[in-house]
Amino acid sequence: MQLKAWAECAVNGFFPFPANGAWDKEFARVFSKDLRATFNATTHSYDTWLSLYQTFNHSLVVFTPFNHGFTSVVAIPDSANPKGGFVSMNGWEGGYHSLAKKDLWYSDTAFAVIEVDAQGKRKIVEFREATNMPSGGGVLPPGTDWACVLPNTGPGGNGSVKMAV
């Protein structure tokens, strides 16, 4: 299996939302016991990372249903062993928020370093994740207009883009 596909399947498997079943078994399969991880501004070992993930169901249960997906995934295989390497993922998460009574969507990004263990299995040894979803599944305050115009010169660009945050 290609590195990119493996990483996407691994993340989908351990993403701890209520409908994901036995996500903790996939978590144990894909993360190294020597894991170094960050979530926003917090740092974690394997055990504290697992403890953090165990709290997420309490936050995500307010979404009926909770959904997530990828907008882009870039995998760079290790030249010495292409089963390992690093992967950068960007995506979205959210859904209908049962307390706010509306759809709420957030961004999520992750960077993973994947190595091959002594048994030839891929393991995530480093994982850096960040999201703008409020902790506890809370609701962000409304955005404000940002008076800035940026040139839209990318593929299909047709002038300027006005930004609002």
User: Rounded mean pLDDT of 133-148?
Assistant: 66
Which residue in 77, 159, 79, 90 sits closest to 122, CA to CA?
A: 77
Sequence letter at residue 122: R
- The answer to whether residue 163 scores a pLDDT higher than 70 is no
Q: Calculate what percentage of the chain has a pLDDT beyond 90.
A: 52
pLDDT for 23 equals 85
- Is the per-residue pLDDT at 17 higher than 80? no
Percent of the chain with pLDDT over 70: 79
**What digits encode the pLDDT tens for the residues 72-94?**
999 999 999 999 999 999 999 99
Identify whether the C-beta of residue 60 lies closer than 8 Å to the C-beta of residue 53.
no
Helix 3-14 vs helix 23-30: crossing angle, to nearest 10: 140
- Cβ atoms of 49 and 35 within 8 Å: the answer is yes
Domain ranges of the chain: 3-140
Contact 32, 56 (CB under 8 A): no
* Per-residue confidence (pLDDT) for residue 71, from 0 to 100: 95
**What's this model's pTM, rounded to 2 decimal places?**
0.80
Mean pLDDT, residues 1-11: 92
Residue 96: predicted pLDDT: 92
The pLDDT assigned to 18 comes to: 62
CATH number of this structure's domain 3-140, picked from the four choices 3.40.50.150, 3.40.718.10, 3.10.450.50, 3.40.50.970: 3.10.450.50
Report the pLDDT value the prediction gives residue 165, as an integer from 0 to 100: 42
What pLDDT does residue 119 have?
A: 95
Tell me which residue of 111, 116, 115, 114 sits closest to 127, measured CA to CA: 111
What number is the average pLDDT over the span 26-34? 95
Summarised one tens digit per residue, pLDDT across range 84-129 is 999 999 999 999 999 889 999 999 999 999 999 999 999 999 999 9
pLDDT at 139: 61
